[in-house]
Chains A and B, each alone.
Chain A
Amino acid sequence: MTQKLHPALIGFTVLVFIFLIGPLIIVVGSALSDTTHLTFPPQGLSLRWFANIFEIAAFRRTIITSLQIAFLSTFIALLIGIPAAYALNRYRIQLPGWLATLFVLPVLVPELVLGFALLKNVAVQFNTPIFLTLVFGHSLLVLPYVVRVISASLASFDFSVEEAAISLGAPPLRTFFTILLPNVRSGVIAAFILAFITSINDVSISIFLTGPGISTLPIQLLAHMEQFFDPTVASVSVLLMVLTVGVMAIVERTLGLTFLAK
């Protein structure tokens, strides 16, 4: 019905998507290889490198650390980000304009700088435990996603509904939980997911806040790669991709993925 695209454009797009997806397929293939070095296409199919992940103590430890940090920081970011997003949308006129900018600072300031600053001026300066510093760093990192996604779902919320509830006698806090929250539920889910995946994958902040005692999965992956070039890293990568697929399925269910293109 609509105008047709030039075949060259379509061909180009096909190449771009091969470029985007091909390398990830190669990683999956390498993870399944039965050899002790990385090869593609895989020679012999085996899941032994997946088993190997859990035989290495450092991977076991860092997977748990990464999950703890991702859950904690996402939880903190939601806890403080939802009220902040609400305030920004509901009380726009009485709050200063720079407040919205403040909440995007964590994406504006280079993550590496944030990581280094946290190491130097929080962890070392005040003897703050590294784990705690990591949690704060990751909470900051994911806060902009929470504020943005929640704001987006609040933008389509008609606040007069809330006023209707209050006029019918519902106290403000109950109004928040029974009227507002259910209406931005899908936004909360999306924010959770985006925040969680961002935290799990973070390198630039964590790289400064890890050491012999504590590390996260991506940092452990980097360290492992520098010493070994076996398919273990590919297997961990596949695990992370499976997590991503799971996450995308949830987002697709709740919002539709095109939501992310906005």
Chain B
Amino acid sequence: MTKALSIQSITAHYGTTKVLEDLSLEVAEGELVSLLGASGCGKTTTLRLVAGFLQPTSGRIQLGGVDLTRLPAHRRDIGLVFQNYALFPHMSVADNVGFGLKQRGVAPAEKTKRVAAMLERVGLAHLASRLPGELSGGQKQRVALARALVIEPPLLMFDEPLSNLDAKLRVDMRVEIRQLQRANGTTSVYVTHDQEEAFSISDRVAIMHAGRIMQLDTPETLYQRPANAFVARFVGFENLIPMRVVERDGAKITAEAAGGVRLTLGLEQFGAIPDSFTLACRADGLVASPDLAMEGIPATLGLRTYLGRAYQYQCDTPAGPLLANGPLTRPLEMGGQAKLVPVPEQCTILAAETA
């Protein structure tokens, strides 16, 4: 029933503007992969190419080993959930859900049964005869989901399905979507610009930028071990410190940043470290300590803000401006001196980039 999706070196243009460049993506059977990125990164274009609303300039799209690239949209058999639901305003909820079955020539009795069962599953059986205009946003989204699921598509695609809902409902709905998707085991592609949403719902996430996939990995890996500076910034690594190894000593190295700042890093913690690299950490991974004898980055403390779990300091250092956190037990004064000590478990190493 469910099938694997394979996108092979797709390039696409809007007029003369290149919007996707040599993009490849494999989604395994039953897997949910999110395409995550800011608007204009190419995530929606990718989805529309797979749906058949756009034609790629080059490359191939396969579903379960069958080439879809030149197939018209209505013959692709893909379930789609739209951002603004795209419910047919002139049809009742039941007719909306039954639309795809009707196109497939399913007998009326069978159709009614399957529509009723699907509405039951999304908890909307009591609204079957309503028009979409009479429903709330969350209900509309459930109808859209039911309409896409009832045709039992081998592939489901979601285009920012929750962005028109309020925050609380968004969290409830994404759990519901995940449960339905798991229960059916349907291969899914989920487009969103919301990082938390993507991370919470997906098996794997593709972070996209300028028409390319910057990194495709599990949410855990992306969050802790970004592969490059773009992804690191995207997932919230505030501090990116370019460094270069000055001394290698067995399991330890000493590296130097701008302004002659030196740090010692253990290889067992970071694995192999190239001669030139970027040390990346969030504010959480850089502790502001008043003990100037500790090894760390010397800093002048700037503005202090209260985060609830910690204090955060804007710091001025020889290696540039950095963001560090300090314990609540000991607030430090603005203008004071401190050492910023990296927490190895919360830091990661990025290979130097040419770009």
Contact = CB atoms under 8 A, between A and B. Distances in A.
A3 B55 contact: no
A1 B55 contact: yes
Contacts of B73: 3
B72 A3 contact: yes
Interface in B34-79: 53-55, 72-73
Interface residues of A, number: 3
A2 B15 CA distance: 12
Contacts of A2: 53
Contacts of A1: 14, 54-55
Nearest to B74: A3
Interface in A1-30: 1-3
A234 B53 CA distance: 50
A229 to B, nearest CB: 52
Interface string B5-35: 0000000001000000000000000000000
Interface in B140-167: none
Contacts of B54: 1
A3 B54 CA distance: 9
Interface residues on B, range: under 10
Contacts of B55: 1
Nearest to B12: A1
A2 to B, nearest CB: 8
Nearest to B13: A1
Contacts of B14: 1
Nearest to A1: B54
B47 to A, nearest CB: 15
A61 to B, nearest CB: 55
Nearest to B52: A3
A1 B12 CA distance: 11
B110 to A, nearest CB: 30
Contacts of B53: 2
A31 B322 CA distance: 80
B85 to A, nearest CB: 22
A3 B55 CA distance: 10
A188 B8 CA distance: 54
Interface string A225-254: 000000000000000000000000000000
A3 B52 CA distance: 10
A3 B53 CA distance: 8
Contacts of A3: 72-73
Interface string B189-203: 000000000000000
A116 B14 CA distance: 58
B74 to A, nearest CB: 9
A191 B134 CA distance: 38
Nearest to B55: A1
A243 to B, nearest CB: 37
Interface string A96-112: 00000000000000000
A1 B14 CA distance: 9
A110 B174 CA distance: 58
A4 to B, nearest CB: 10
A94 B73 CA distance: 50
Nearest to B48: A1
A1 B54 CA distance: 6
B133 to A, nearest CB: 22
Contacts of B72: 3
Nearest to A4: B72
Interface string B247-289: 0000000000000000000000000000000000000000000
A2 B53 CA distance: 7
B59 to A, nearest CB: 16
A224 B147 CA distance: 66
B274 to A, nearest CB: 44
A1 B72 CA distance: 12
B254 to A, nearest CB: 56
Interface string B110-130: 000000000000000000000
A1 B55 CA distance: 6
6 contacts: A1-B14, A1-B54, A1-B55, A2-B53, A3-B72, A3-B73
Interface of B: 14, 53-55, 72-73
Can you list the 6 inter-chain pairs with the closest CB atoms, starting with the nearest?
Answer: A1-B54, A1-B55, A3-B72, A1-B14, A3-B73, A2-B53
